[in-house]
Amino acid sequence: EINFFFPKQQTLAVIKPDAMEEHREKILEEIRGSGFSVTQLKETVLSREMAEEFYKEHREKPFFGQLVEFMCRGPCMMLILTKENAVEEWRAMMGPTDPDQAKATCPNSLRARFASNILHNSVHGSSSEQHAEEKISFIFGDICSDAEPTGDGETDT
Ligand code: RTP
Ligand code: MG
């Protein structure tokens, strides 16, 4: 017999602070409706240091300071999305970085509909499988080694 095996892929998705109040529920609904499994989900306020580390690839860009400021101004929703081809599919669902371009080329994308401008653009998605692995372990820690805790520290004998 022949078995076709389609491996799942994981990506990191972030609902950025500008979209948390008004668009979070809609975005989560569309993620689930598009066949992604939300494997992990948590709301986090990034510290400045974490935001700098998260976007370290952009350290030299003129917008880096504004980007860090924006990302730690309020809560973000961090999600691990699992699906075949998740990295590419989530990027497609987000649309281009600049919402003006998104409106022109992918009017149904999340950024076309929800983003205000090229900085405040509502969502993040890993740009490669390697990036996804790195950012997932940065945000969620080593989720594969969640062994039973050895104790809760109530006694210190
Ligand atoms: P992301 O990493 O957040 O998924 O976005 P992206 O790949 O589409 O865009 P990227 O080039 O990686 O930029 C990261 C984030 O920096 C902000 N940005 N501001 N003011 C500007 O010209 C500018 N360019 C980029 C956006 O928040 C962008 O998503
Ligand atoms: Mg990027």
CA 58 / ligand 1 centre spacing (Å): 9
Determine the residue type at 83. K
Answer whether residue 147 shows pLDDT above 50: no
Task: Report pLDDT for 151.
Answer: 45
Percent of the chain with pLDDT over 90: 85
Q: pTM for the complete prediction?
A: 0.90
Can you tell me which residue has the tokens 């999340």? 110
Catalytic annotation, residues: 124
Whether 63 is in the pocket of ligand 1, judged by its Cβ within 6 Å, is: yes
In a domain, residue 153? The reply is no
In a domain, residue 28? The reply is yes
What is the DSSP track for 72-104?
Answer: TSS-EEEEEEEETTHHHHHHHHH--SSHHHHHH
Point out the ligand 1 atom lying closest to the alpha carbon of residue 55.
14
Query: Which domain covers residue 61, as residue numbers?
Result: 9-89+121-141
Question: Nearest ligand, CA of residue 19?
Answer: 1
In a domain, residue 126? The reply is yes
CA 106 / ligand 1 centre spacing (Å): 17
In a domain, residue 81? The reply is yes
Give how far Cα 34 sits from Cα of 1, 71, 138, Å: 31, 26, 26
pLDDT mean across residues, the chain: 91
Q: Best mutation site among 16, 18, 59, 97 for ligand 1, i.e. most ligand atoms within 8 A of its Cβ?
A: 97
In a domain, residue 14? The reply is yes
- CATH label of the domain that carries residue 64: 3.30.70.141
In a domain, residue 58? The reply is yes
**121 CB contacts (<8 Å, ≥6 apart)?**
16, 18, 97, 98, 99, 111, 115
Rounded to 5°, the CA angle 79-82-85 comes to: 120
User: Do 120 and 16 form a contact (C-beta atoms < 8 A)?
Assistant: yes
The ipTM estimated for the assembled molecules is 0.98
In a domain, residue 79? The reply is yes
Task: Report pLDDT for 84.
Answer: 96
In a domain, residue 115? The reply is no
pLDDT tens by residue, 76-102: 999 999 999 999 999 999 999 999 999
Cβ atoms within 10 Å of 53's Cβ, excluding its own = 14
Answer whether residue 108 shows pLDDT above 60: yes
* Number of domains the chain contains: 1
Strands 76-83 and 37-44 turn out to be antiparallel
